[in-house]
Amino acid sequence: MSSELIINVAPYETRVALIENGTVVEFHVERKAERTCVGNIYKGKVVRVLPGMQAAFVDIGLERTAFLYVTDVYDHFPEFEIMLGRTEDEDDNLPPPQENSEEDVDIHYQLPPFRIEELLHEGQEILVQVAKEPLGTKGARVTSHVSLPGRYLVLMPTMNHVGVSRRIQDESERCRLRDLIEELRPNSFGFIARTASEGVSRKEIEVEMDFLLKLWEKIQRRAASLPIPSLAHEDLDITLRAVRDLFTQDVTRLVVDSEAAYNRILDFVDSFAHHLRPCVELYKGERPIFDAYGLEIEMSRALGKKVWLKSGGYIVIETTEALTAIDVNTGRYVGKRHLEDTILKTNLEAAKEIAYQLRLRNIGGLIIIDFIDMNDPASRDEVFKCLKDALKKDKCRSNILRMSELGLIQMTRKRNRDSLHHILCEPCFYCDGTGVLRSRRTICYDIFRMIEREGKSLLGRRIQVLVHPKVGEMLLKEETNFIEFLEKKLETEITIVSKPDFHIEQYELQYLD
């Protein structure tokens, strides 16, 4: 399976697309103004202990206090079982082992023999790592079980065990890696061999292990001298995370459109995976890189509620605060002979598309799928198996219940970061939240891209941007640095004009002599 990584870097936003066999399967977006805190390590202070919930709130310096559950506090469980070969979900961040989002094994804990009030007290200092970023009104989820991911290994300094990725299927290679790590690791330090470690030499494993151990020592020394609350360690940005987690042997090339990012990637690859250096390319085309690869259109489609199937049927995806509901319809597809065959074919096609859309949009949490009703139990089992098989390609863990007699499938998918919909859209104030609009920042960045796309041919002409007042306010305040950046780059003058009669998503560029 050939894959490509396409990275678009702008001063205000970085976008990553993973393409497998010509199909976009993952989008990742990180904005400078909204960078994620998942994977960061903080020196915090316990502000409240809740015995009734067996949890505590920790001040780590973010807007809301973070949530810490009792199993995320107790570092040395008397009994736990490591289920090797159960799951691996490698993505752009690595939450703690009990979240099991990007770990290569499942770890099952018995409840600790202590209660939260015996482990923590108000005012106590504690070093924690963000496992889930704040979502909506909820603060970040944190853990004291720190995970430091490298390219080949994951260091877990509070867990004394060795795990191996289930995606490494060769049993002799699994044993080799496990024995090698056991031989090299210091006592009481846990390690997990990631998928990329398959076939890697002893020297490379040893070098990365030494690097991760020194990084952990550096974090501890830094944390000891910091005030409370403080950031003790910041995870890699999305560009290098993509190289670390997505740039596998299946990826035939990585294409990036920023020379600065290109050089950073080469330095990173030289340190951890020198053999991948020939696969890194600097994009020098005239058209914007996402336009050249047709990715702008794909991103727009990934925000739509209705997704058409090749047969003529379609699915509708509705996201609520509590869950995501997906409805399957036959649409224009009328079949050829029997109604049951028509319904079965539509449901099977929808099952594959739903698995693809969940990964593409990064939809997590509780998901309810309403397939078209089928009377035959064998048909229901066939659709269930089809969905389950399609989800095996997804790196995020999911749990699926069998289809009910009403044609409903309940499932959960690991939520380790915001969905594409949540990142690119915001609630619509025109309809009081019943729909969504493209966010003001997204519109600003669309304008920036249009200016860059058309600005090269202006030959010094001034640019006047007509926008809704709310977009204009953001351009002149929060995004003014990038306006100045474009003016210097294109050697022109850019003027923002507010138009109260414009729809918030509407904008117009005028070119003046």
Do 316 and 256 belong together in one domain?
Answer: no
Q: Are strands 507-512 and 462-467 parallel, antiparallel or unpaired?
A: antiparallel
CATH of the domain at 499: 3.40.1260.20
Where are any strands of DSSP class E within 84-185? 106-109, 125-132, 141-143, 148-149, 153-156, 162-164
Q: Consecutive 10-residue runs of the chain (513 residues): their mean pLDDT?
A: 89 94 91 85 94 92 91 55 33 37 44 78 93 81 92 90 86 93 90 89 91 93 93 92 86 94 92 86 93 90 90 90 90 71 91 94 93 90 95 88 90 84 82 78 94 78 93 94 91 93 92 84
Q: What is the pLDDT of residue 80?
A: 32
Do 214 and 257 belong together in one domain?
Answer: no
Structure tokens that stand for 448 in this block:
């920036």
In a domain? residue 76:
yes
Do 111 and 229 belong together in one domain?
Answer: yes
Q: What is the pLDDT of residue 74?
A: 64
The SS3 assignment for 118 reads helix
Residue 444's CB is within 10 A of a number of other CB atoms, namely: 23
Do 45 and 188 belong together in one domain?
Answer: yes
Which residues form the domain of 446?
439-512
Of 276, 297, 318, the residue at which a domain comes to its end is 297
In a domain? residue 429:
no
Do 47 and 157 belong together in one domain?
Answer: yes
The strand pairing partners of 437, in sequence order, are: 426
Structure tokens that stand for 479 in this block:
């995004």
In a domain? residue 177:
yes
Do 411 and 443 belong together in one domain?
Answer: no
Do 321 and 380 belong together in one domain?
Answer: yes
The strand pairing partners of 15, in sequence order, are: 8, 29
Tell me the residue type at 189. F
Of 193, 218, 235, the residue at which a domain comes to its end is 235
Residue corresponding to tokens 């005030």: 227
Q: Decide: residue 35, CB within 10 A, 0-12 exposed, 13-18 middle, 19+ buried.
A: middle
CATH of the domain at 125: 2.40.50.140
Structure tokens that stand for 316 in this block:
């509708």
Q: Are strands 55-59 and 66-69 parallel, antiparallel or unpaired?
A: antiparallel
Q: Are strands 365-370 and 323-329 parallel, antiparallel or unpaired?
A: parallel
* Residue 93: C-alpha distances to residues 27, 132, 325, 389 (Å): 14, 10, 26, 25
In a domain? residue 89:
yes
Residue 495 C-beta-side C-alpha neighbours within 13 Å: 10
pTM of structure:
0.78
Do 215 and 256 belong together in one domain?
Answer: no
Q: Decide: residue 264, CB within 10 A, 0-12 exposed, 13-18 middle, 19+ buried.
A: middle
Do 290 and 323 belong together in one domain?
Answer: no
Q: What is the pLDDT of residue 333?
A: 67
Residues 6+ apart with CB under 8 A from 314: 306, 307, 308, 329, 331
Please provide residue 393's backbone torsions phi and psi, each rounded to the nearest 5 degrees: -75, -15
Q: What is the pLDDT of residue 103?
A: 40
In a domain? residue 344:
yes
Do 245 and 143 belong together in one domain?
Answer: no
DSSP readout, 267-280?
Answer: HHHHHH-GGGGGGE
* Residue 38: C-alpha distances to residues 208, 210, 264, 463 (Å): 22, 24, 22, 39
Do 64 and 185 belong together in one domain?
Answer: yes
- The structural domain count of the chain equals 4
Do 269 and 231 belong together in one domain?
Answer: no
In a domain? residue 408:
yes
CATH of the domain at 262: 3.30.420.60
Whether the Cβ atoms of residue 328 and residue 347 lie closer than 8 Å to each other: yes
In a domain? residue 428:
no
Alpha-helix runs per DSSP H in 391-479: 420-424, 440-455, 469-476
Please provide residue 465's backbone torsions phi and psi, each rounded to the nearest 5 degrees: -105, 115
* Residue 156: C-alpha distances to residues 55, 395, 404 (Å): 22, 20, 41
In a domain? residue 434:
no
Q: How far is the C-alpha of 219 from the C-alpha of 421, rounded, in Å?
A: 34
Q: What angle do CA 186, 187, 189 make, to 5 degrees?
A: 75
Of 268, 297, 326, the residue at which a domain comes to its end is 297
